[in-house]
Amino acid sequence: MPVFYDQLGRAVNLPGCPKRIVSVVPSQTELLFYLGLSDEVIGITKFCIHPADKFTFTAKIGGTKQLDITKIKALQPDLIIANKEENERSQIEELTNLCPVWISDISDLPTAIDMIERVGALVDKETEAKALGLSITQQFDNLAITPLNLRAAYFIWRKPYMVAGKGTFIDSMLQKCGLVNAFDDARYPEIDAAELKAAKPDVILLSSEPYPFKEKHIAEFKALLPSAITKIVDGEMFSWYGSRLLYAPEYFGELVGELIKLD
């Protein structure tokens, strides 16, 4: 029986190549379809919106943090692919009693590439996954961005305000953009207006997800910090760590070009 190890160091025993896969993480769902597993992926979350045609026709099993365990059981999966941060621990532990569960734990580009390659080996798409990982790595290597010496506050939520702090994948992507995170707190701290002003960010980035920040929200932050550059950014480019990373370097290059012009 093949034994694979997930990114938590857990042994995952598979009797054979999985044929009925449930993915409960949007970026990893997109990765599985990219690797050619259209027939094998039988269940996804309501947030697994890419690719659009697969989202339309694949069974939905709830949200990333509110999985419908009954629906998952009815699908009779032989593998579930999850993530330490994006899914609720208690639900994932319950699912381990149903079938093998492979869990990722991603904080930066190297761990994202490691996830891609390990998942490729897990689903018998090792060659395709290695090629994808190499392509992503090369594109980031070619992303020549000089440190901007700009402090950035990256907002993921409103009411209450929440930002991406240190140790997050988003923080590592900010670094790829040559930006310095204005918040040293670990993970995703809640902040208020006073704390935002005290942090004195040069740039405020409002993510399109998980909270759907829009242009209408810019004025709210301009009122708090008139001198800061405030922009809406594509949250998928900063937080999806699967095949969507192919598009991130070009997006970051364009974003940095805009910030330089506005600075």
pTM: 0.95
* Beta bridge partners of residue 23, listed in sequence order: 81
Per-residue pLDDT of the chain (263 residues; tens, 9 = 90+): 688 999 999 999 998 999 999 999 999 999 999 999 999 999 999 999 999 999 999 999 999 999 999 999 999 999 999 999 999 999 999 999 999 999 999 999 999 999 999 999 999 999 999 999 999 999 999 998 888 889 999 999 999 999 999 999 999 999 999 999 999 988 999 999 999 999 999 999 999 999 999 999 999 999 999 999 999 999 999 999 999 999 999 999 999 999 988 76
CA 23, 29, 35 angle in degrees (round to 5)?
120
Nearest alpha-carbon partner for 10 in 85, 87, 96, 73: 96
Task: For residue 210, report the phi and psi dihedrals to the nearest 5 degrees.
Answer: -70, -30
Task: For residue 14, report the phi and psi dihedrals to the nearest 5 degrees.
Answer: -120, 130
Residues 136 and 217: their CA atoms lie apart, in Å, by: 33
Q: Do 173 and 252 form a contact (C-beta atoms < 8 A)?
A: yes
For position 2, what pLDDT does the model report? Answer: 80
Residue 101: how many other CB atoms lie within 10 Å: 22
Residues 99 and 114: their CA atoms lie apart, in Å, by: 23
**Tokens linked to 246:** 């192919």
Q: Do 40 and 123 form a contact (C-beta atoms < 8 A)?
A: yes
The answer to whether the peptide bond before residue 160 is cis (omega within 30 degrees of 0) is yes
Going from the N-terminus, what domains does the chain have, and what CATH number goes with each?
Answer: 3-106 (3.40.50.1980), 150-262 (3.40.50.1980)
For position 154, what pLDDT does the model report? Answer: 98
Residues 205 and 164: their CA atoms lie apart, in Å, by: 10
